[in-house]
Amino acid sequence: MKLIQAEEPSEDLLDLAASDLHRHFDGPALLRIPGRRQPALFVSVLLHGNEPVGWDAVRELLRRYRSAGEALPRAMTVFIGNVMAAREGLRRLDGQPDYNRIWKGGAGQEVELARELIGELRRAPPFLAVDVHNNTGVNPHYACITRLDPSSLALARRFSRPVVYVRSPDTVLAAALAPMTTAIILEAGRPGERRGVEHVIEYLEACLELSVLPVTPQHQTLDLYETVATVRIRPGTRFDFALQAPTAATTPQDLWLLEEFEHYNFEELSAGTLFGYVPAASPLPLEVTDVADRDVAERYFEIQGQELRLRRDLVPAMFSPDPAIIRQDVVCYFMERVPLH
């Protein structure tokens, strides 16, 4: 798999929805759009094929400048990721790795492509990098950063009040870009929400207008969180969602997740909060790892009869009601607030 490189996109390309990009590219592509300033703003879209907000924002933004007959205030380089998964509306296809987990080495054609892209960017480091995503559950719009430096904090705050400091997984694109430039991850709501596209366009326009990177993060209006644990389904676990405790008539499962839990994303939850249900006397059906990849399940969960409850105060994020997403990625992340001084 080779990285496809192209110059400024044609009108025909900008007419294509994310699900139709495979008609133009048979794999990941790098577009270079000229502008009045260099170095370029780097924008990554569609690392996950079911998250079209980035591509929708980029193509609408480019159309606006073309309609006005204006050049971009700054050059922009756009990486288009998993077009084959986008064709099917899936995060990734069976047999593919997650395109946001290939940036720290390993083996396979996708990892080789990742090395090629990072090599390209090292030769001409971008002014700023922005990686755009959707969520599948109910979450506020928020930004993620992999470094706690002033520019990262300031640029994350320009997108949202909630900002998440991410140390794990360290295989994401933003972590690979952080040594060469400030890298911001945008989480812009669920697919299909117009506000997400508008919010990303506003943010990219502001980034294109910058002459220097800001270094004042407005601490007084910043809610900073750090991911401290990742929650996954144990392999082979049968699970479903439930509104109430299972009965004898309920279809047998190893775990019933609390259906309303996605509405608790970014809420401060107390120890003892109900997370789901399990069969009586069953082992914990979840894997929980900290940023050092240690098993910390017992630190965060306890079983009381059939009830699976939180053992400590925490803030969840990215809990999704989509079983396929849970199987392919995570149930959710656990976060803690970081005090700002």
- State the average pLDDT over residues 91-115: 95
pLDDT of residue 95: 93
Q: What is the pLDDT of residues 105-162, one digit of tens each?
A: 889 999 999 999 999 999 999 999 999 999 988 999 999 999 999 999 999 999 999 9
- pLDDT tens digit string along 184-228? 999 999 999 999 999 999 999 999 999 999 987 655 688 999 999
**Cα(161)–Cα(183) distance, integer angstroms:** 17
Please name the residue that has the structure tokens 């996605």.
262
| Structure token pair of residue 120 | 């390209």
Whose CA is closest to 256, among 177, 171, 331, 178? 331
Average pLDDT over residues 61-80: 97
Indicate the average pLDDT of the chain.
94
pLDDT for the residue 8: 85
Residue bearing the bigger pLDDT, 242 or 13: 13
So what's the pLDDT on residue 219? 57
pLDDT band, very low/low/confident/very high, at 281 (cuts 50, 70, 90)? confident
If you average pLDDT over residues 13-19, what whole number do you get?
Answer: 97
Alpha-carbon span 242 to 245, nearest angstrom: 7
For the chain, the domains span 4-221, 228-337
What count of Cα atoms within 13 Å lies in the side-chain half-sphere of residue 228? Answer: 17
Which residue in this structure is represented by tokens 């971009």?
72
The yes-or-no verdict on residue 171 having pLDDT over 80 is: yes
DSSP state of 35: B
What is the per-residue pLDDT for 216? 74
Tell me how far apart the alpha carbons of residues 338 and 335 are, in angstroms, rounded to a whole number. 9
Residue 341 pLDDT: 66
Strands 142-145 and 239-242: unpaired
Nearest to 175 by CA among 215, 111, 131: 131
Q: What percent of the chain has pLDDT over 70?
A: 98
Contact 254, 282 (CB under 8 A): yes
Q: Which residues contact 146 (CB under 8 A, 6 or more apart)?
A: 152, 165, 166, 167, 170, 172, 174, 175, 178, 183
Residue 284 DSSP symbol: P
pLDDT at position 245, please? Answer: 81
Res 247: pLDDT = 78
Indicate the fold that domain 4-221 takes in CATH.
Aminopeptidase (3.40.630)
Query: DSSP states of 137-202 as a string?
Result: S----EEEES---HHHHHHHHTT-SEEEE--SS--SHHHHHTTTS-EEEEE--STT-HHHHHHHHH
- Classify the phi-psi angles of 281: left when phi > 0, otherwise alpha if psi is within -120 to 50, otherwise beta: left
Q: Strands of the chain (E only): list them.
A: 4-6, 29-33, 41-45, 76-80, 128-133, 142-145, 162-165, 183-187, 223-233, 239-242, 255-258, 274-277, 286-289, 301-304, 307-310, 315-317, 332-337
ω into 140 cis (within 30 of 0): no
